[in-house]
C-alpha cells in the first residue's frame, strides 16, 4: 500500500512541476519551463505530454536538436501523438534537415489528413527541396481544405521563388484573393 501512495505523491509532484512549466512558458521563460518540465519527467518518465511540452519549450528556446529528441521520445511512447509529429517536422526544418522534416510531416498528415497545416508545411518543405510538382500538389490540397493557405502562400518566399513562373501557382493564389 505504501508504494501506491508514493506513486500518487510522485504523480502529484510531477503535475505540479508541469503546471509550473506551463506558467513559465506563458511568461516566455522557456529555459525555466524546460527545467521545470524535466523535473516532472524525472518523476513520470512515461508521460508523453511532459516530453511533448519539453520539446515545445526547447523549440521556443532555440534548442531544435533537443526538441527533436523530445518529440522522438513522445512518438516512441505514443505513435499517434500527431502534434508531436508536426512539431518534430518544424524542428527538423529549423535544423535544415528538410528530408527528415518531410518524413515527420508526412506522419502527421497520415494521422490528420484534414488538417491544412500539414499539407501547407509539406508544400513548403518540398519547395525547399525544389520538388515543384509535389509542392504544388500539397499546396493545392491545403487550399482545398482552407482557402487561407492561398493567401499565406502568396507571402511565403520559398514558394514565390520556386513558382515565380508557374501559371498554376498564380491561379491558385489568385483564385483565393478575388
pTM value? 0.87
Whole-number pLDDT of residue 172 = 72
71-127 pLDDT, tens digit each: 999 999 999 999 999 999 999 999 999 999 999 999 999 999 999 999 999 999 999
Hey, which CATH number is domain 2-112, 1.25.40.10, 3.40.50.300, 1.10.10.10, 3.40.1400.10? 1.25.40.10
pLDDT band at 168 (very low <50, low <70, confident <90, very high): confident
Cell numbers found for residue 124: 513548403
Instruction: Evaluate if residue 11 carries a pLDDT over 70.
Output: yes
Listed residue (54, 55, 29, 32) closest to 41, CA to CA: 54
Instruction: Evaluate if residue 178 carries a pLDDT over 50.
Output: no
Distance (Å, rounded) from C-alpha 11 to C-alpha 90?
30
For the chain, counts of helices (H) and of strands (E) = 11, 0
Instruction: Evaluate if residue 4 carries a pLDDT over 70.
Output: no
Distance of alpha carbon 74 from the chain centroid = 12
Half-sphere exposure of 89 (CA within 13 A, CB side): 24
CB neighbourhood size of 132 (10 A): 15
Amino acid at each position: 500500500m505504501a508504494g501506491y501512495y508514493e506513486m500518487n505523491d510522485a504523480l502529484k509532484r510531477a503535475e505540479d512541476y508541469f503546471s509550473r512549466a506551463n506558467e513559465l512558458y506563458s511568461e516566455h521563460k522557456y529555459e525555466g519551463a524546460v527545467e521545470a518540465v524535466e523535473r516532472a519527467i524525472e518523476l513520470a518518465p512515461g508521460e508523453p505530454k511532459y516530453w511533448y511540452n519539453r520539446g515545445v519549450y526547447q523549440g521556443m528556446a532555440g534548442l531544435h536538436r533537443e526538441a527533436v529528441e523530445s518529440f522522438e521520445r513522445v512518438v516512441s511512447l505514443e505513435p499517434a501523438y500527431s502534434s508531436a509529429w508536426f512539431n518534430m517536422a518544424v524542428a527538423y526544418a529549423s535544423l535544415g534537415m528538410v528530408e527528415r522534416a518531410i518524413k515527420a510531416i508526412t506522419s502527421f498528415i497520415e494521422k490528420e489528413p484534414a488538417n491544412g497545416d500539414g499539407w501547407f508545411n509539406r508544400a513548403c518543405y518540398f519547395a525547399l527541396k525544389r520538388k515543384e510538382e509535389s509542392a504544388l500538389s500539397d499546396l493545392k490540397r491545403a487550399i482545398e481544405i482552407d482557402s487561407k493557405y492561398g493567401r499565406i502562400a502568396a507571402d511565403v518566399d520559398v514558394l514565390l521563388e520556386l513558382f515565380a513562373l508557374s501559371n498554376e501557382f498564380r491561379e491558385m493564389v489568385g483564385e483565393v484573393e478575388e
